Every structure is written in C-alpha cells, then in structure tokens.
Structure 1
Amino acid sequence: MKKLTGLIIFILIVTTVSALLFFYGRGYRIDFDDKQFKPTGVLTITSKPTNAKVFINNEEKGNTNMDLSNLSPGKYTLTITKDGYSTWEKEILIKKEEVNEIEVTLFPRTPSLTSITFTGVNEVAISPDGKKVVFLVQEKGQQGIWSLDLSRNTIPIFTSQALNKLISDSEKIKYSAAKLQISPDSKRVLIEIPGDTQAYFLLDLDSQNNSPNPLFIEEFQKTQDDWAKESLGEINSKIKGLGQEAILGAAGLSNITFSPDGNRFVGKNKNSNFAVFDSKPGPVPNTKEQIYTLPKANKYVWFSDSKHLIGTKGENIFIVDVDGQNIVSIYSGAFDSKVISPWLDGSKILILANFNSALNKLANFYAIELR
C-alpha cells in the first residue's frame, strides 16, 4: 500500500510540474496580488540602429535589442528614442501566450546630402524594380544615356561600377536627347529620339549598347502597348494574389504601386487621398488585413524595407510608417518631385535638385544619407 501511495504521489508531482512548465512556457505567471495563475505575453524589440532607449507607458525599460516578458495582455504605449534620431512611438497590443515582435527603424534628424553627378541631368526614368535609374547627360565628353545602380550601397562617381554608360552620342544620333521608357521587367529601355527624322531604339539595361538596330515606328508603338498591358496585368495579378480583401481595397484606387515585398500596395482615391492596403499589418503580427489613410501628400514612393513610404509635400520630403504614423521629415528645399528613389539597402534616397540655378541650368543627383 505504501508503495502504491508513493507511486501515486510521484505521478501527481510529475504531472503537476509538467503542467506548470507547460503553462510557464506559454507565458503564464503567478499574480501574487490576485493569487492567480494568469497568462502574459512577451515583447521582442529590435531597432536600427541598436542601443536605443525603450519606454513602456513612459517607463524606461532598457536599450534595444531586448525582450520584455511577463507583460499582461492589453494595450501599451511603446516609445523608442536615440540621440540624433527620430522618436518612434505607437500603441501596441500585447496578446497572451504570444511573442509579440516589434521591428523599428529610426531615421536621422539631420541627414547629410552627398553629390552624385556634376554634369547636369536631363531626362530620368526609374526602373519598376527600383534597382536602376536611367538618365541623359549632355555635358561635353559624357554625352549619352547612363544608368545608376541603386543596388550598390557605395556613393557612385563617374568612374565607379554603380554608373554605367548605356550608349554614347554619335555623329548622326544624339541619344542624349531621347525620351525614356523602361520595360516592366526592368531589363530594357525604349528610347525615342525627336527631330525632323525621329528614331527609335531598344537598349539593354545591363550592358553597353554598341550600334543598336533602329526600330520601325510600328515596332516602337507595339512595344509601348505590350508593356502597358503587361504592367496592368502584373498589378491585377498581384492584387488578386492577396485575396478578396485586397480586391475590395483596390477598388476606386488609381496609380497603384506595390511594396518591394509584394505584401502591400498604395494608391490614390477619388478624393486625391493616398491609401495603403496592408496584407500583413505591422508591427503586431497575425493581424487582419488593414487599409490605412496616409497623411496628405503630393506623392508617395515605397521605401526599400516595405514598411515605410517616402512622401513629398511642397518642398518637403518625409518618411512615414505604412499605417500613417511616425512622420519623419528628412529634407526641406527645392527638388524635382518626379525623381525620388531609395537605395535597395535603405541607406540613402536619391533626389534631383539644383541648388544654384544662377550658375547651373540643369539639376544634379544627390543622395540623402540615412546611415
């Protein structure tokens, strides 16, 4: 009998300990005030740059990157700060028995500006994948069509691999006067050279183009039509791929562009307001699809991390979270609003500006340094 009683006690102890360990692993903790075993959540916070201060409901908790455990389910105000950088703040929802991951990017308050070109830039076209910027140069000795590679994180100069001359002006053909259109797959550029005798060419974006064969006008027009249909088809296919909520969210929006990861799109509604459809809302995971209205702006361009957008309003450029929160001004001054594009690694933003129009007739490329 004693052996049986001991065995039963042993089994009960093992079962109880196993249950406690199971619930502990799920985030349950003892509330000594209420004398109850309550569920909690874990908050994992990472930031770029790291070593930023973390505040929960205005109470400092430490520096990133860090984990905060034993948080009761509910809403909290999370604030991330670092000297010299923008402050990030948002109300977050902690869910029981879950690890709630927050990824935050802080942007410098006073980013520096670096010159990229000095020759003057004429026409500009940005590839749909955001990797290449094609532009015209008419400066003596550099005349022709050039491309800038935004997938290389170094500041380019005219002797660097980030800048590639696609074709040089010839005695007969002034390529540096062309109109540019880049293919939906970002591999080719269609050019139209105006004049008494118009000329049309199709160039490769990844290499130099020596003596390209001209296109007939019918070929040029067919290529334009085919590319327009292909672009529209890709957008519609991506929208359908995100499900019925995305189809409903896209209704009534124009000029739709997708984030680099394909999980979100932004467009302009009939009231000229910009809206974002987010199939994977952040920073809290496992949340239903959301539609956000963005702050008033003239234009929005996706930032490379797909979690932010670059907006322009008047002579200001700012970065904002996809949900419209945490607006950070990064530039104020004259610029060409048609030419704004981030480097793929998020380190810089390309702009076109002319800071001395009295001396320079043409604008040049500059990089807004974010890190």
Structure 2
Amino acid sequence: MAKKKNKNFAQHLIEQVKNIFKAIFTTRIGYTLFSLLVVVIGSIFAIRYARGSWRLTKNGIVANTGLLNVNSFPTGAQVFIDDRLVTASDDTIYIDPGEYHIKIVKEGYSIWQKNLSVQEELVTQTNATLFPSAPSFSPLTFTGIANIHPSPDGQKILFHVKQANTPTNNGFYLLELTSNFLSIQSGPRQISDDVPALELDKAHVIWSPDSQEIMILVDEKFGRTEFLIPVDKKSSLLEQIDISYLRTKTLSAWEEEIYQKERLFLEKFPPEILQVATQSAKNVYISPDKKRLLYTATANVTLPEELIPPLPAASNQAEERNLKAGNIYVYDREEDKNFLVLNEEIRPNFPLLNLGVENSDLDKKTENSNLDEKIELSFLNKQLLSDDLFSNQIRKLEASPEAFLRLQADLTSDKETTALNFNNYYSGVSLNSLQWFPDSKHLLYVADGKIQIMEYDSHNNTVIYSGPFIDEFVYPWPDGSQIIIYTSFSPDSPFNLYAINLK
C-alpha cells in the first residue's frame, strides 16, 4: 500500500513538472524568463571560467587558477615557463597561482626574461618588448651638422649647417620626427639663413615650451645679437629685429608656462613622493604618459609604504623605498612602486654642449675658463619649478615677476647657462642622463660607450648599439621605432644624424 502511494506521488510530481515546463514554453513570458535564466547561469559560468575560477583539464575540473597573458612586440616568439617551452606569443595561459620564470625568445631579437607572480583569478601580463640584435641604420642628414637641439614636444630636432655646397643652403634646419613617409622623404627643412659673422654653430638656442619658436642667443664676441623666430617657415636673420630688450620678459613667460604644466601633471602624484621630488631630488622627469617619475635622490630619506591602496595583479618586482643620495629611481603612481634604476656614478650628468664645434675651439674655451666655473657648469641639474605644490596659491607672472627668473642666469655674460637650464628642463638628453622612452615603460641611456635600454623596473637591460657615436646625443623617435645618434663612420666624413631602426 505504501509503495503504491509513493508511486502515485512520484507520478503526480512528474505531472506537475511537465505542467510547469509546458506553461513555460507555451507562454511568451515563461519562455522569456527561462531564456533569461539560462543566459544568466551561462554568463556566470563563462565569467568564472575566464577569470580562472575553474578550468577543464585532462584530469578533470581544476579550481582557482590564474591567467598569464604572454604578449610580446613583435609577436610570434617562443615562450618558456620555468625553462619549458609552452606556447608562442601572443597567448593566454591558465596556470596555477605562484611565481614563474618567464623567458620569451625570438630569433634576431634580444631575449626577454623576468620572474612573474600569477595570482588566483587575476591576469598577469608580460608586455615584453624585444629589440633587434643587429639593427639597421639610415642617415637623416648628409652635409655635416652642429648645434643640435630637440624640441620640448619631442617631435622635432633643430640643427645648424655651415658646410653646404651652396652658401644659401647654410643656416638652421628643422627635422620633423614623423613616421609619415612623405615627410621622411622630404628630409630636413631650412628655417633660417646663415650669418657667418655670428658663428651660429656656436650660438645658444632655447625652444619655446610649445615647440613653435626658437630664441637664438649670440655671445658678445660674435655680435651679441638675439633673435626670436618661428619654426614653421624660413626666416632671414638679417631682417629680424634684435629682441634683447624683450628677452627677459619672453623667457619669464616661457618659465611660467613650464611651471603651470609641471604643476598640473605633478598634482596627480601622492604628497609624499612630491615632497621627495621637490626637497630631496634633482633631475625629475615625468614619463610621457604622466604616470611615473624618474628622479635622482639628493638625500637619504625613506618613502612611506602604501601611499595608495594596493592594486590587484600589481608588479611583484623588488622595489626600494629607502632612498640613498646619488641613486636614480622611478616611482610608479598607479601601483605605488619605487624602483632603483642606476647609481649616478654609472651615468654622470654633464650638459650637452654645442655638438660639432671644432675641438680647438673647445680647448680654447676650456683653457680660458676658471676651474670652479667649469665644475659648476659641468653639473648643472634640473630642479623643479613647482616647489610650491603644497600651497593653494599658484604663482602668477603678473603678481610676482621675480618668481620666474630661476632658469635665467646673468644673460649679459652667461647665455650658455640660461640655455642649458631651459634645455635641461625639457629633456634628459641635455644632461646626458637617462631619458624616458616614448612608451613610458623603458629608459634610454648611455654607459660604457654603449647605447642601452631597460625597463623602468631595471630589468631586461639591453645593449642597442656599441659602435662609434658621440654619446652626448642619443634621442628616441617619438613612436619608439628608431633611436637617433650623432656620429661619423669614417675620419673623412662630417658628423651627421643617423637612425638606428628598432622595428
């Protein structure tokens, strides 16, 4: 009797389920709700799978894995995990949480390797850039050049030519650093004529902060003339007025513009690192993406921990928060990481002089200079203008003109220092120091007579070039596709700009 009762109950339950499903699939609302339920459940499973919460393997379901996104530039490189060939880039691998030694290898390119930590249900990326082992070269100038000055925006290079076959072709030229084929084919563009009596290859040049004008300062022994010309057209210098009476006012306005931009970018960084940057550091350069600071410590200080809440899947590379004077560091404001890069002794700072000046001229200049003055000039350093970041009052040129004279030396006798101060502010190339690579992930520098590049956490240091070059000028192309050097490949050839092709 009990069995019959249970059987009837089971049949009744089945009938009820059938009726429910019948109701669902025979009505529009019911069908919609059921479809929505399937989509939601399927999405949950898909998201959990994509995050590595579980994955299907030969051994069944494995829970709580992480994801390793192995990407490289260029792609198609072999990927080794703990010395075992696993896949080729680009690929995403589900892997157990833990620390792994990742090596990425492509024939004809530098090897990239790093220890990376993979965390549960998080994505870890390699973002590996591989540089060619034997890069090709291409000339950018041909006639012999001197007095080289990159623009503040990194898009142009100014230089002087005085050895052209035709005298009218001598003067200042502008090289547009563009990847546009037509612009590359057209080559440098002349923006001024030459005045031989002024010795313009030895003149001091200052770019405007917007990279639209240049100020040319001629020393007293060559005429003490000063010009301000645009770079978008050719100017005849003999037709230009002497702007000596406007020079201080113009430079102060430029200094105010630099100050305002710098303050705007630095305000996004934690106050603790700003205190270091303004009080205990020199040669502070903001990365192109405005997320990192490159700086040299001038005092032994400690950077506090956890200036911002920790981010998931942040870098696991060793950092250094006990700063020592003379060491060069990079601070990453997104991840609150501070990496030791180099010691200043490896890459000493000294200013970029007028490249291309005859050695005899330089020797005479050195002989006539006071030793103390030489030492001071040889170690000019960049100090931040926005040292008032903790004040709500922003300096204004109209209210305090004297506040915007910090980059200006006594121009009646020392135009060189003023030009160096401005140029140092724009780029580390003027200090022959480390420079940000355009991708904001690498640093470019010269050491031991070699052009080298490394990641901003000091890993994967790669020698790009070790041939002949003048190490006072090494500069990256704006898109990172080339590195520009100043060299001559034979004793009888003049010095010119060449591009080292990285792609």
Q: Which structure features the higher share of strand residues?
A: 1
Structure 2 CA distance for aligned equivalents of residues 56 and 93 of structure 1 = 12
Secondary structure of 1:198 counterpart: coil
Residues 18 and 222 of structure 1, relative CA distance in 2, 3 Å threshold: closer
- Aligned-partner residue type, residue 332 of structure 1: S
- Aligned-partner residue type, residue 347 of structure 2: A
Residues 324 and 38 of structure 1, relative CA distance in 2, 3 Å threshold: same
**Residue 340 of structure 2 is aligned with which of 287, 293, 299?**
293
Q: How does 1:55-70 map to 2 (within 5 A)?
A: 55-69=80-94
Structure 1 CA distance for aligned equivalents of residues 472 and 260 of structure 2 = 24
**Residue 78 of structure 1 is aligned with which of 78, 82, 102?**
102
**Residue 149 of structure 2 is aligned with which of 125, 133, 138?**
125
Offset at residue 177 of structure 1 (A):
4.7
Offset at residue 97 of structure 1 (A):
2.0
- Aligned-partner residue type, residue 107 of structure 2: D
Q: Number of residues paired by the alignment?
A: 358
Query: Which stretches in structure 2 are left out of the alignment for 5+ residues?
Result: 1-11, 22-33, 299-324, 349-432
What is the identity percentage for the equivalent residue pairs of Structure 1 and Structure 2?
A: 29
Q: How does 1:14-25 map to 2 (within 5 A)?
A: 20-21=45-46, 23-25=48-50
Secondary structure of 1:130 counterpart: coil
Match of 2:297 in 1: 269
Structure 2 CA distance for aligned equivalents of residues 338 and 155 of structure 1 = 30
Residues 124 and 32 of structure 1, relative CA distance in 2, 3 Å threshold: closer
Q: How does 1:125-144 map to 2 (within 5 A)?
A: 125-140=149-164, 141=166, 142-144=169-171
Structure 1 CA distance for aligned equivalents of residues 452 and 206 of structure 2 = 27
Matched, 1:187 2:212: yes
Match of 1:94 in 2: 118
- Aligned-partner residue type, residue 209 of structure 1: S
For residues 115-147 of structure 1, the C-alpha deviation after alignment (integer angstroms, 9 at most, x for no partner) is 222322211111121111111111132310011
TM-score by length of 1: 0.85
Match of 2:360 in 1: none
Q: Do the aligned partners of 2:198 and 2:223 also contact (CA within 8 Å) in 1?
A: no
Matched, 1:226 2:280: no
Residues 221 and 21 of structure 1, relative CA distance in 2, 3 Å threshold: closer
Structure 1 CA distance for aligned equivalents of residues 80 and 259 of structure 2 = 45
Residues 248 and 93 of structure 1, relative CA distance in 2, 3 Å threshold: farther
- Aligned-partner residue type, residue 354 of structure 1: S
Q: Do the aligned partners of 1:253 and 1:267 also contact (CA within 8 Å) in 2?
A: yes
Pick the structure with greater CA Rg.
2
- Aligned-partner residue type, residue 329 of structure 1: V
For residues 325-348 of structure 1, the C-alpha deviation after alignment (integer angstroms, 9 at most, x for no partner) is 001001114433332211122111
Query: Which stretches in structure 1 are left out of the alignment for 5+ residues?
Result: 281-287
Matched, 1:367 2:499: yes
Residues 117 and 16 of structure 1, relative CA distance in 2, 3 Å threshold: closer
Secondary structure of 1:123 counterpart: strand
Match of 1:205 in 2: 231
Q: Do the aligned partners of 2:51 and 2:67 also contact (CA within 8 Å) in 1?
A: no
- Aligned-partner residue type, residue 279 of structure 1: R
- Aligned-partner residue type, residue 100 of structure 1: T
Match of 1:47 in 2: 72
- Aligned-partner residue type, residue 369 of structure 1: N
Structure 2 CA distance for aligned equivalents of residues 275 and 259 of structure 1 = 13
Q: Do the aligned partners of 1:54 and 1:78 also contact (CA within 8 Å) in 2?
A: yes
Residues 19 and 110 of structure 1, relative CA distance in 2, 3 Å threshold: closer
Match of 1:306 in 2: 440
Structure 2 CA distance for aligned equivalents of residues 164 and 30 of structure 1 = 60
Structure 1 CA distance for aligned equivalents of residues 58 and 137 of structure 2 = 56
Structure 2 CA distance for aligned equivalents of residues 74 and 248 of structure 1 = 36
Residues 24 and 49 of structure 1, relative CA distance in 2, 3 Å threshold: closer
Offset at residue 153 of structure 1 (A):
5.7
Residues 37 and 171 of structure 1, relative CA distance in 2, 3 Å threshold: closer
Structure 1 CA distance for aligned equivalents of residues 464 and 140 of structure 2 = 18
For residues 35-59 of structure 1, the C-alpha deviation after alignment (integer angstroms, 9 at most, x for no partner) is 9862222222221111101111111
For residues 249-295 of structure 1, the C-alpha deviation after alignment (integer angstroms, 9 at most, x for no partner) is 52522112222211122122223322111224xxxxxxx22111113
Match of 2:52 in 1: 27
Offset at residue 311 of structure 1 (A):
1.2
Match of 1:351 in 2: 485
Q: Do the aligned partners of 2:228 and 2:243 also contact (CA within 8 Å) in 1?
A: no
Secondary structure of 1:44 counterpart: strand
